[in-house]
Structure 1
Amino acid sequence: MAQSGRECSIANALAVVGERWALLALREINLGVTKFDQIARNTGASRDILAARLRALVAAGVVERRQYQDHPPRFEYVATESGVALRPVLHALMAWGDRYATEGEPPTVLAHECGAELHTQTVCAHCGGQVAWGENTRALRLGAVR
């Protein structure tokens, strides 16, 4: 039976990266952790689940599997342009988790190259105004309800 609902880029994105272990693997890769064993350790994912998620991310073009050693063959995972483009999404999820899903101090704090603690915001590329989705935005095109 076909799913009903609005045609939406959010749904399309979730089909690629909307699974816990995929997002946690992307977190690690975007933090510079590229070796399978390190990604598994830092995410807590089982090896078989992590391998499946990394294969899916490679197939979707979000990460690239690169050989870094010949004998024995060893590989690392690096973010593609598509994977790097997900950094603001990861920042937003982290900020939301810090505020609404974590008791006490945030477990991870990112710093900007200027040395300050990183807090991101979404701004309009045209006018530079801060975006509060839903308050000062409107849909120019709405996907059809399927």
Structure 2
Amino acid sequence: MSLGVDYAKQDCPLARALELVGERWTLLILRDAFYGVRRFTDFAGHLDISKAVLTQRLSSLVRAGLLTKVPCGGRDEYLLTDSARMLWPALYTLSQWGEQQTGQGSPRRIFLHVDCGSKVDAVGHCATCRYAPGPEELEIHPGPGADFGVRDDPVSRALRYPHRLLQPLDTRAQSERMPER
């Protein structure tokens, strides 16, 4: 018996949410979109996902109204919708939970509130301002637990430098720079 792809008999908002974002790779695609990844080739290269699966997931996210597909310079780009941006607190908190579960001790990424420069805690609150800034108010930095030797794709290289969330990640310009440690 094959595994179903929906939760038709579940009367639960979480089940409805999982129908939209619960497939393998979907949350990682959304994470990368928050980081500023917009192009198919950058998603594929950073995630090591097959082109067929990536095509299907991106199409599903567009149909669900979480991404929009827009032409840009002869290529398509995928942008987060307002509906997808509402997922940021859940994605961030789940990511922080995952960071704690690995037992590494030092964070791989640090998120700073741009307005005041303070770190954002594990539930997404700014330590100084005492509220949860939206993704457009955050900058991502490599943390002390970042391992630059694990991946060497253009997105990973670009993420070795501070970068404002939701801003297009320029994988070409930063791919040749060396990180300062």
Q: TM-score range by the shorter chain?
A: 0.7 to 0.9
Residue equivalent to 2:59: 55
Taking the aligned partners of 2:23 and 2:7, their CA distance within structure 1 comes to: 18
What SS class does the counterpart of residue 110 from structure 1 fall into? Answer: strand
1:110–1:42 distance in 2 versus 1, CA, 3 Å: farther
Taking the aligned partners of 2:75 and 2:50, their CA distance within structure 1 comes to: 19
Taking the aligned partners of 2:88 and 2:23, their CA distance within structure 1 comes to: 16
Alignment of 1:106 onto 2:110? no
Alignment of 1:20 onto 2:21? no
Taking the aligned partners of 2:88 and 2:100, their CA distance within structure 1 comes to: 18
Q: Cα RMSD (Å) of the superposition?
A: 2.6
1:42–1:3 distance in 2 versus 1, CA, 3 Å: closer
Identical residues among aligned pairs (%): 34
1:8–1:22 distance in 2 versus 1, CA, 3 Å: same
What SS class does the counterpart of residue 112 from structure 2 fall into? Answer: coil
- Larger of the two Rg values belongs to structure: 1
Query: Displacement, 1:31?
Result: 1.2
- The number of equivalent residue pairs is 121
Taking the aligned partners of 1:79 and 1:3, their CA distance within structure 2 comes to: 25
Taking the aligned partners of 2:56 and 2:86, their CA distance within structure 1 comes to: 22
What are structure 1's unaligned runs of at least 5 residues?
124-146
Query: Displacement, 1:20?
Result: 2.9
Residue equivalent to 1:139: none
Residue equivalent to 1:32: 36
1:21–1:3 distance in 2 versus 1, CA, 3 Å: closer
Taking the aligned partners of 1:20 and 1:115, their CA distance within structure 2 comes to: 34
Residue equivalent to 2:89: 88
Alignment of 1:7 onto 2:11? yes
Contact 2:69 2:79 survives alignment (8 Å): yes
Q: Which among 110, 116, 119 is matched to residue 117 of structure 1?
A: 119
What are structure 2's unaligned runs of at least 5 residues?
126-181
TM-score (norm 2): 0.59
TM-score (norm 1): 0.72
Higher helix proportion = 1
Query: Displacement, 1:9?
Result: 0.4
Query: Displacement, 1:121?
Result: 3.3
